[in-house]
Amino acid sequence: MSPLDAPRTAAWSGKEVRSARDLAINGAPPMFSQPLHVGRPNIGSHERFLQYARDILERQWLSNNGPLAQQLEREIAQYLGVQHCIAMCNGTIALEIAIRALGLKGEVIVPSYTFVATAHALQWQEITPIFADIDPVTHNLDPDAVRRMITPRTTGILGVHLWGRAAPVEPLQAIADEHGLALMFDASHGFACSFGGRLIGGFGRCEAFSFHATKFFNSFEGGAVVTNDDALAEKMRLMRNFGFAGYDNVIYPGTNGKITEIAAAMGLTNLAQLDEFVAANRANYQTYSRELTDVPGLRLLAYDTRERNNFQYVVVEVDEQFPASRDRIVEVLHAENILARKYFWPGCHNMQPYRAYYPHAGLMLPNTIAVADRVVVLPTGSSMDSAHVRGVSQVLRALSRGSLAA
């Protein structure tokens, strides 16, 4: 079954919101019978996946660099146009292994406006994440802010391609070169997205992807580091498997970062249908764009039409022209079974242990704080269609009439 034929779980009630009494938060039935999620998995052909699963059971090879894991690595490397893909059990371990293989220590500069795993992957290894501010328009690291955070203890920069829009790759590379720092990227949002016409994956020393269930491309849980550096790739392969270089021969300290065969099967299944997932996301994005274009106080994050994007995240910024606060919007939407998210509020610097370690970090992060306070991420994905998007948009449009906002 194609993902686009999959049963729609969240039926639109057909409700029209004309007055405050029509809102679920005021006791009316919700807009949708089931929750609409940010991060509902895109799932490819069930039949293809089940065939892979049957093969795995027949072969009795379940993990440890099995044939499907190797095939997934080959297909991803080819798709991204990179030399090496080292598949991992999740995106966080992919980050941790890449960070360790690069020999980062001391301090590493990261954005605070990201999923907390980016910072945790450093902290877990007793490396201090130093939070640099973002550009309020791109939501990505501001190169000038990065410069300001460099100290004699800095060993690297960990950029994030937030929302699948590339971090400022060239200025960051220039800063890294100038100061002798390693540059790597958290590309968890960036699968099938491009910068300068090149797919994300080949920038910096290496890039780490997440293939978590909620990501545009998933392998249940999973991830990968991709690189064009042969020696780095070899090191990461060893680290992923306890440092084993053959039977009974450990030549490196390592961990268990291996991807299972069943996860690789899901990855291969979904890799074959990436274009369909992008098309579904793009269609939803375009419908949101049409529906919300003239709503004062709401601004849909734009994607550069010259680049490829996976349109995984439908990001709306709420400003003071809108009669309801961002938090009120989220509350109203949740009551309607529309599980919008406040990603990545309140910023890593406001989460533990960072908040306790650096209580004044926010002084250097005005744009991070402002953006985190005004963003709401709306549901999308291949289990949603234009009727769902119109239902979500209808609630937002109704709220924009001040009388319903209170």
> What's the half-sphere exposure (Cβ side, CA atoms, 13 Å) at 70?
6
User: What's the min distance (Å) between Cβ of 16 and ligand T4K?
Assistant: 26
Binding of ligand T4K at residue 39 (CB under 6 A)?
A: yes
Task: Give the integer Cα–Cα distance in Å for 134 and 373.
Answer: 14
In the range 284-343, which residues lie near ligand T4K by CB under 6 A?
A: 339
User: What's the min distance (Å) between Cβ of 60 and ligand T4K?
Assistant: 27
Q: Are strands 84-88 and 128-132 parallel, antiparallel or unpaired?
A: unpaired
Binding of ligand T4K at residue 259 (CB under 6 A)?
A: no
Binding of ligand T4K at residue 210 (CB under 6 A)?
A: yes
DSSP code at position 60: T
Binding of ligand T4K at residue 90 (CB under 6 A)?
A: yes
Contact pick of 114, 154, 173, 400 for ligand T4K (by CB under 6 A): 114
User: What's the min distance (Å) between Cβ of 41 and ligand T4K?
Assistant: 5
Task: Give the integer Cα–Cα distance in Å for 297 and 325.
Answer: 10
Radius of gyration of the chain measured on its C-alpha atoms = 22
User: What's the min distance (Å) between Cβ of 123 and ligand T4K?
Assistant: 13
User: What's the min distance (Å) between Cβ of 179 and ligand T4K?
Assistant: 24
H helix count then E strand count, the chain: 14, 14
Q: In this complex, which beta carbon is closest to ligand T4K, that of residue 143 or of residue 223?
A: 223
**CB-based burial label for 293 (10 Å; 0-12, 13-18, 19+):** exposed
Task: Give the integer Cα–Cα distance in Å for 11 and 181.
Answer: 51
Binding of ligand T4K at residue 111 (CB under 6 A)?
A: no
Contact region with ligand T4K (CB under 6 A), list: 31-39, 167-175, 301-309, 316-324: 31-39
Contact region with ligand T4K (CB under 6 A), list: 84-92, 230-238, 255-263, 302-310: 84-92
User: What's the min distance (Å) between Cβ of 180 and ligand T4K?
Assistant: 26
In the range 115-144, which residues lie near ligand T4K by CB under 6 A?
A: 115, 117-118
Task: Give the integer Cα–Cα distance in Å for 325 and 265.
Answer: 43
Contact pick of 68, 146, 160, 361 for ligand T4K (by CB under 6 A): 160
Binding of ligand T4K at residue 382 (CB under 6 A)?
A: no
Contact region with ligand T4K (CB under 6 A), list: 38-46, 125-133, 143-151, 325-333: 38-46
Q: In this complex, which beta carbon is closest to ligand T4K, that of residue 213 or of residue 364?
A: 213
Contact region with ligand T4K (CB under 6 A), list: 35-43, 46-54, 176-184, 394-402: 35-43
Task: Give the integer Cα–Cα distance in Å for 272 and 346.
Answer: 36
Contact pick of 15, 17, 32, 37 for ligand T4K (by CB under 6 A): 37
Helix (H, G, I), strand (E, B) or coil at 376: strand
Contact pick of 96, 186, 207, 317 for ligand T4K (by CB under 6 A): 186
Task: Give the integer Cα–Cα distance in Å for 190 and 249.
Answer: 36
DSSP code at position 10: S
Task: Give the integer Cα–Cα distance in Å for 134 and 144.
Answer: 9
DSSP-derived secondary structure for 276-335: HHHHHHHHHHHHHHHHHTT-TTEEEPP--TTS------EEEEE-TTSSS-HHHHHHHHHH
| Residues forming the site for ligand T4K (CB under 6 A) | 37-41, 90-92, 114-115, 117-118, 160, 186, 188-189, 210, 212-214, 223, 339
